[in-house]
């Protein structure tokens, strides 16, 4: 029997680690306790996690030090922009967490309000590859000032005229007197791999993992709805149920005028949806999370 195991690169600590560990847990991966800071072994799958900084994940997967990795698209495409050696990487699955936008921003009271205003000016960023590519496509020439962190302070201290940085809520920009005027790149966490991995066993484990991840992602936005509805208003109830056109309709014992409706809804169920259901006579409405799904 072969002892080949899939090595998955994950961020050791941070936003990607939080989402990544949650996804693995929901996908049923049980991690053994270990003192080793670099490697964590899965107890129930031929899988090892390699815990490193997110910046290193694309090159670790590209060189074969790891088979797969969980990384932000921002980091993946920035490193691919800088190094042609990473062209052997591909996205196996979009994971739907750690969503953020790489945005151009400038002092709110300054004279830079659009991409064209950056002509001949300087931009501080940790993403010079993606930023320069975007500006080039727009025909704007600007100087890139590469920074490892605290990019948002650059205009204040006179290091650059504008910045290009990741934004999620926008609070950091606001706190530093900056206003965003353009989105350069939209990002979320992705599962990456090397193209044409020759190991059949690794690819088998990866196939299983991808199938489970897809189930977790699908079940996150899917809800199970139970309700009782007047028999003569069932068509109206069906029309309101989000993302479901074929609910199960069952009789209610002792009631000719009422039916029980069960439906899997693949779109978000809002309070307003429940209010509409109630308005057409639905009662005892329950909305429940779905723990696992497999098509």
User: Which residues contact ligand PRT (rule: CB under 6 A)?
Assistant: 11, 14-16, 53-55, 72, 74-75, 98, 100, 165-172, 187
Adjacency order of strands within the sheet including 100-107: 143-146, 122-125, 162-167, 100-107, 178-187
Give the nearest distance from C-beta 271 to ligand PRT in angstroms.
26
Residue with smaller CB distance to ligand PRT, 153 or 280: 153
- List the one residue out of 186, 232, 195 whose CA is nearest residue 87: 195
3-class SS of residue 192: strand
Return the one option of Zn ion, ligand PRT, none that residue 172 interacts with (CB less than 5 to 8 A, by type): ligand PRT
Structure tokens given for 85: 């050696």
Side-chain half-sphere CA neighbours of 141 within 13 A: 1
DSSP state of 135: H
Beta carbon of residue 252, minimum distance to ligand PRT (angstroms, whole number) = 47
Alpha carbons 21 and 49: distance in angstroms, whole number: 10
Minimum distance from residue 209 beta carbon to Zn ion (Å): 24
Nearer to Zn ion, 15 or 220 (CB): 15
The binder of 11, among Zn ion, ligand PRT, none, by C-beta within 5 to 8 A per type, is ligand PRT
Instruction: Give the torsion sign (CA, 115, 189, 270, 247).
Output: positive
Please state, in angstroms and rounded to a whole number, the distance separating the CA atoms of residues 6 and 45.
9
| Closest separation in Å from C-beta 126 to ligand PRT | 8
Kindly state the smallest distance separating residue 53's Cβ from Zn ion, in Å: 5
Task: For Zn ion, give the closer residue by CB, 102 or 265.
Answer: 102
In angstroms, give the least distance from the CB of 123 to Zn ion: 20
* Closest CB to ligand PRT among residues 1, 171: 171
Confirm if 178 and 107 have CB atoms less than 8 A apart. yes
Nearer to ligand PRT, 128 or 281 (CB): 128
Between 81 and 203, name the residue whose CB sits nearer to ligand PRT: 81
Please report how close the Cβ of residue 75 comes to ligand PRT at its closest, in angstroms. Answer: 5
> Closer to ligand PRT at the Cβ: 11 or 273?
11
CA–chain centroid gap for 228, Å, is 36
CB under 5 to 8 A by kind: which of Zn ion, ligand PRT, none does 15 bind? ligand PRT
Q: Minimum distance from CB of 100 to ligand PRT (Å)?
A: 3
132 binds, among ligand PRT, Zn ion, none (CB under 5 to 8 A by kind): none
Return d(Cα 200, Cα 198) in angstroms, integer: 6
Provide the binding-site residues for Zn ion, judged by CB under 5 A: 54-55
Beta carbon nearer to Zn ion, 55 or 203:
55
Rounded CA separation 62/72 (Å): 15
Distance CA 104, CA 127 (A): 11
- Please spell the DSSP secondary structure of 210-240, one letter per residue: HHHHHHHHHHHT-EEEEEEEEGGGHHHHHHH
């Amino acid at each position: 029997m072969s002892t080949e195991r899939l090595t998955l690169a994950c961020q050791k600590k941070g936003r990607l680690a939080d989402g990544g560990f949650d996804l693995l847990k929901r996908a049923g991966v049980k991690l053994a306790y270990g003192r080793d800071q670099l490697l964590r072994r899965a107890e129930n799958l031929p899988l090892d996690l390699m815990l490193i900084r997110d910046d290193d994940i694309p090159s670790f997967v590209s060189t074969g030090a790891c088979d797969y990795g969980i990384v932000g698209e921002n980091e993946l495409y920035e490193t691919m922009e800088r190094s042609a050696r990473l062209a052997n990487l591909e996205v196996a699955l979009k994971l739907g967490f750690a969503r953020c936008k790489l945005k151009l921003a400038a002092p709110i009271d300054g004279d830079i309000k659009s991409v064209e205003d950056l002509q001949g000016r300087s931009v501080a960023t940790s993403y010079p590859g993606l930023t320069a590519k975007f500006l080039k496509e727009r025909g704007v020439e600007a100087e890139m000032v590469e920074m490892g962190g605290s990019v948002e302070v650059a205009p204040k201290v006179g290091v650059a005229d504008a910045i290009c940085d990741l934004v999620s809520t926008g609070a950091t920009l606001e706190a530093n007197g900056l206003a965003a005027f353009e989105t350069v790149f939209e990002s979320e966490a992705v599962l990456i791999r090397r193209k044409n991995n020759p190991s059949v066993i690794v690819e088998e484990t990866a196939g299983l993992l991808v199938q489970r991840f897809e189930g977790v992602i699908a079940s996150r936005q899917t809800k199970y709805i139970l309700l009782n509805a007047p028999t003569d208003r069932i068509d109206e109830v069906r029309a309101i149920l989000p993302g479901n056109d074929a609910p199960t309709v069952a009789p209610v014992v002792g009631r000719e005028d009422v039916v029980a409706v069960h439906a899997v809804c693949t779109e978000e169920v809002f309070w307003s949806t429940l209010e509409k259901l109630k308005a057409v006579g639905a009662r005892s409405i329950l909305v429940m999370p779905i723990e696992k799904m497999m098509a």
